[in-house]
Amino acid sequence: MTPSYLALAEAIREVLLEGVQAPRRQVLPIPGGEFLVMPAVDREFALAKLVTVRPEAFPSVTAELWVQRLDTGEVFHLPAEELTVRRTAALSLLAARTLAPRQKGALFLVGAGRQARGHLEAFAEGLSLTRVLVKGRSPKRVAALLEAARALGVPAEPFSGRYPEDLAFVVTATTSREPVVSAELPDGVFVAAVGSFTPEARELPEALVDRAELVVADTEDALSEAGELQGLPPGRVRLLAEVLKNPPRVRGTVVFKSTGHAVFDLAAVRAYLKA
């Protein structure tokens, strides 16, 4: 049984508040991309996720996830790509439900791949969407994502280049190394940047991050991994685990930067194997 996005978000909240630790992922170069190794353990499970990232391929990200139940030794080969998409979207949903200045409004999706689809599903489940706007390189995938939104009962249209007055949520889910949104986003929106994960790449322009009222990273590792967070003064970026304990009231723009971490895979494993 596949857990809901809200159930995954709650599992992630529990892991972050417990303070579960995992080592920083190893990143190795391969032809045309990178190979990532991500381990994590708790008292119940030991896991290792293997990820291949090739920006010019489609899909650009593939993954394998192996899990051992420690009390019995039973080994599971879980659907890593589905799990990664869903836990990443659930993480953004958790951040949005905790920090977004507005909980109702339009969702702007930049990217039309699996991560964008997951975020569409998650935000439609856990927030009040008035409509969905999509921007992507592939007209075919944009059209498919628009149809998916309409099937969820949410009006949807291609992004026209103008930001609507009811814009409340922005998700960038691309492999771009250059900014994919403008710095002129309306104030008071929640922005989740989930695609880039190296210091040399940034999906958000520097000016947007600089003027954000609140900048939050999914884990401490993101401080050194995310291009959007490089060069910011000490104390400018808060960690999600910290703000979950005492959520601030925010009226201006919120930037949530997610580079991913094995602790979120561990949370998802808990939810999947206990569902």
**Angle (CA) 179 229 97, round 5°:** 85
pLDDT at 1: 74
CA quadruple 12, 100, 193, 131: dihedral sign: positive
Closest alpha carbon to 130 in 95, 157, 112: 157
Q: Any idea what DSSP says for residue 160? A: -
Domains and CATH numbers, the chain: 5-83+264-274 (3.30.1780.10), 89-260 (3.40.50.720)
* Nearest CA among 61, 125, 116 for reference residue 88: 116
Question: Residue 268: phi, psi to the nearest 5?
Answer: -65, -40
Question: How far is Cα 200 from Cα 36, in angstroms, rounded to an integer?
Answer: 17
Q: What's the chain's average pLDDT?
A: 93
Tokens for 266, please give them: 């561990």
Separation between Cα atoms, residue 181 and residue 208, nearest integer Å: 9
pLDDT of 275 above 70: no
Q: CA-to-CA distance for 137 and 122, rounded, in angstroms?
A: 22
> Residue 260's pLDDT is what?
87
- pTM to 2 decimals? 0.92
pLDDT band at 166 (very low <50, low <70, confident <90, very high): very high
Q: How far is the C-alpha of 95 from the C-alpha of 156, rounded, in Å?
A: 23
pLDDT of residue 153: 97
d(CA 197, CA 265): 16
Q: Could you tell me if 51 and 62 are in contact, meaning their C-beta atoms sit under 8 angstroms apart?
A: yes
Band (pLDDT 50/70/90 cuts) for residue 19 is confident
Give the model confidence (pLDDT) of 196-212 as tens digits.
778 888 999 999 999 99
